[in-house]
Amino acid sequence: MPNVGAAEGTVGPNTGKVVKTEGLTHYYGDLCAVNHLNLTVGHGEFFAFLGPNGVGKTTTIRLLSGLIRPKQGTAVIDGLDVVCSPLEVKARIGVVPERSNLYAELSARDNLVFVAQLYGLPRSQCYERADQLLVQFGLSEKADALFATLSGGMKRRLTIAAALVHRPTILFLDEPTTGLDVQSARNLRTLVQTLHREGVTIFLTTHLIQEAERLAERVGILVKGKLIAVDTPAALCARCPSEMALEVVIEPSSEALQTDLRQSAHMRSFSRVGDAVHLGVISYTHALQEIATLAERHGAEIRAIRSITPSLEDAFVQMTGMDVAVLESNKPQSQGGPRA
């Protein structure tokens, strides 16, 4: 893949930090969507905001990109205040929204050319840059295809390409794999990792714990608009070193059985991971006895059981008290259609 290249000469006086917020706050009526956010993201870093829908992830991106004004606090991109210098900030960022903002009635190439014109690229360069990006993102054969006819994965790739047309310093990705099939999501993650290796700063929002753990150098956990923790995945996992945990596969795993496991006095935490359940336990001896008792009571059989070391998922559950199944139950949204 060719090098995208970040914009030259874009490092501002806020040396080493491409994003900095202090007390950033926004309300929708009485709802505090972003609650006094203090955050820094370094140049070239891969940062992920982790949390379910409705906790302020998208609102944060809208604040950082100047689409909405904060009620309180400040946001700085590359040393530029977002409120005071909105046009300069927009020239340094690329934003990939959860729902694509490209036009269904335009071809893949024409969408890129149109975006390049919006960013003020000379007309002679617009088609050259569009074709370069089509090659880079593996879309050359679809250059003349209407956006509406592309697959979900192709639409996401083209939307990311459009966000990079002006070579921004930082790329904001809002739930980029939502609604994609497994293979398309995997391909998109590989693409984003490549962009990061080439020097693009990535600011990702996601409700998928494994996505955050696999991709990001640092993860911020957002709950009800408030940043409750931010660190490397390993450091977040290390915050629950004393918790003993078991991975258990029980069949059939009824809702009643899961409820009893969740409410057991011998369990610290409960989460579902595929066919298994992860249980934070107080005592291995008492927990194993309890699991066997509950399985027998519900007519189930223990298929597998093993001790596990704390993962980002365990840390998330312990810090938020939230069931991972609830976190990752966000409904996929359409990737197609014209700009909303």
Q: What percent of the chain has pLDDT over 90?
A: 67
Contact 194, 225 (CB under 8 A): no
Same domain for 270 and 289, yes or no, is: yes
The structural domain count of the chain equals: 2
Taking the C-alpha atoms of residue 175 and residue 162, their distance in angstroms, rounded to an integer, is 16
Length of the chain: 340
Is residue 316 in some structural domain? Answer: no
Is residue 318 in some structural domain? Answer: no
Contact 214, 48 (CB under 8 A): no
Phi-psi map region of 34: left, alpha, beta (phi>0 left; psi -120 to 50 alpha) = beta
Domain extent, residue 265, equals 242-309
Same domain for 250 and 299, yes or no, is: yes
Residue 163: name the closest of 81, 205, 87, 101 by CA: 101
Same domain for 126 and 247, yes or no, is: no
Question: Is 263 strand, coil or helix?
Answer: helix
Same domain for 273 and 130, yes or no, is: no
Is residue 264 in some structural domain? Answer: yes
- Can you tell me the mean pLDDT for 71-90? 95
Same domain for 171 and 42, yes or no, is: yes
Hey, what are 67's tokens?
A: 């689409």
Taking the C-alpha atoms of residue 48 and residue 57, their distance in angstroms, rounded to an integer, is 10
- Can you tell me the mean pLDDT for 18-25? 96
CATH number at residue 223: 3.40.50.300
Same domain for 205 and 260, yes or no, is: no
Is residue 215 in some structural domain? Answer: yes
Taking the C-alpha atoms of residue 292 and residue 146, their distance in angstroms, rounded to an integer, is 58
Same domain for 252 and 284, yes or no, is: yes
- Work out the pLDDT band at 13, boundaries 50, 70, 90: very low
CATH number at residue 250: 3.30.70.100
pLDDT given at position 9: 31
Q: Calculate helix-pair angle for 152-163, 123-136, nearest 10 degrees.
A: 140
Is residue 76 in some structural domain? Answer: yes
Same domain for 215 and 92, yes or no, is: yes
- Quote the strand ranges of 80-180, DSSP E: 80-81, 93-96, 170-174
Is residue 74 in some structural domain? Answer: yes
Q: Which residues contact 266 (CB under 8 A, 6 or more apart)?
A: 281, 282, 283, 286, 287, 290
pLDDT tens, position by position, 212-266: 999 999 999 999 999 999 999 999 988 876 668 889 999 998 999 999 999 999 9
Same domain for 86 and 146, yes or no, is: yes
Taking the C-alpha atoms of residue 186 and residue 156, their distance in angstroms, rounded to an integer, is 12
pLDDT tens, position by position, 86-119: 999 999 999 999 889 999 999 999 999 999 999 9
Same domain for 72 and 219, yes or no, is: yes
- Can you tell me the mean pLDDT for 308-335? 70
